[in-house]
Amino acid sequence: MTSCSLPLLDEQIRRNAAFRDAWERYSPHRNRVTELLLAAAPPSPGTLAILGAGNCNDIDLLRLLTAFSRIRLIDCDLSALSMAVSRQGLSDNPAVELLGSGDLSGIAGDLANWPAGSLPSASEVTEAIATARLVTLPVPDDSLDVVASVCLLSQLLEPVARLLSLDARPGLLELLVTIRRQHLALMLQMLKPGGRGVLISDVVSSDTAAELCDAGLTDFSQLLARLIRQKNFFTGLNPAVIIHELRFLASNGESTKIEPISPWLWDAGPRCYAVFGIEFEKAALLQARSP
């Protein structure tokens, strides 16, 4: 699947272009993300897919290739992926595969058809919910060792969260929950039994929490916990709620061993973000017992 031209996807492409040269600034964040992916790697070189890879400023591909024999970079902006691997000197490396994902939210087409400057009708929201439930695998197989979503979920939820801030109607909330749950379900579907998912997401920015840019922060976990108690976080991205969603999927035999990852600061310039992670493991197939 190749990149599509829709307003939602065009906005992601615009953002990629704006932050293309942020490699140096992203260094601490990139080291943290890369270490988490290396820690999730299997004992022998396996396969990795990264959803929302974009400019790859937050992943060190050379380091990841020491632990993975194949890396699939997935994003709606295929041009950004191509330039990213070139900047990291891997354009001709067959172990790195680029995949234009089209639309991982499932509703880019619906959003494009909604009237600009006004809220969608109840029937339009209902149609979008049905569409979001039909998001398909962005890769041709479901046997990956590790699947990572890197600061993508906030982008998928943002358009609906913006509408919810104007009108908290139940249908819009259901749409947001559907996109979030489908994203987690897709990550699980892409994994082989026993494979690991790593969800990494920004959760609040210095736009509403200026203290995030305080260089003297010593207890970041405590600060983020306070912000969440104060409901100062991006709509739909409460880490505790996402863990609950994963446990719901686990009740259907999909995942086990859900572990939160300590949050950290991402100085993205011009704003700072609090970032959290969750690692989970897809349930291994049960061995058939002899009669």
Report the C-alpha gap between 172 and 159 in whole angstroms: 10
- 289 part of a folded domain: no
Q: What is the pLDDT of residue 287?
A: 41
What's residue 10's pLDDT? Answer: 73
Inside any domain, residue 32: yes
How many structural domains compose the chain?
Answer: 1
SS3 call for 210: helix
Q: What is the pLDDT of residue 285?
A: 60
CATH of the domain at 166: 3.40.50.150
Strand order in the sheet with 46-51: 96-100, 68-75, 46-51, 144-150, 191-205, 272-282, 255-267
User: What per-residue confidence (pLDDT) applies to 8?
Assistant: 62
Q: φ, ψ for residue 217 (rounded to 5)?
A: -60, 130
**Residue 139 falls inside a structural domain:** yes
Is the CB of residue 149 less than 8 Å from the CB of residue 179?
Answer: no
Residue 188, CA distances (Å) to 75, 107, 144, 196 in order:
18, 20, 10, 8
pLDDT tens-digit readout, 208-229 = 999 998 866 778 899 999 999 9
Q: State which residues form the domain around 76.
A: 7-282
Q: How far apart are CA 9 and CA 156, in angstroms?
A: 10
Q: What pLDDT does 253 receive?
A: 67
Is-above-0.85 flag for pTM? yes
pLDDT in tens, the chain (291 residues): 333 445 666 777 777 777 888 899 999 999 999 999 999 999 999 999 999 999 999 999 999 999 999 999 999 899 999 999 999 999 999 999 999 877 788 888 888 888 777 789 999 999 999 999 988 777 766 789 999 999 999 999 999 999 999 888 889 999 999 999 999 999 999 999 999 999 999 999 999 999 998 866 778 899 999 999 999 999 999 999 999 999 988 877 666 789 999 999 999 988 999 999 999 999 876 443 333
Would residue 291 count as lying in a domain?
no
How far apart are alpha carbons 189 and 147 in whole angstroms?
A: 10
| Maximum separation of any 2 CA atoms in the chain, in Å | 65
- In SS3 terms, 58-106 reads as CCCHHHHCCCEEEEEEEECCHHHHHHHHHHCCCCCCCCEEEEECCCCCC
Q: Is residue 287 part of a domain?
A: no
For 61, 70, 197, 221, 287, the CA distances from 253, given in Å and listed in that order, are: 32, 27, 15, 31, 14
How far apart (Å, rounded) are the C-alpha atoms in residues 54 and 76? Answer: 8
Looking at residue 115, what is its pLDDT?
77
Contact 83, 62 (CB under 8 A): no
Tell me the C-alpha distance between 153 and 200, whole Å: 8
Look at residue 196 in the predicted model and tell me its pLDDT.
96
Amino acid found at 36: L
pLDDT of residue 254: 67
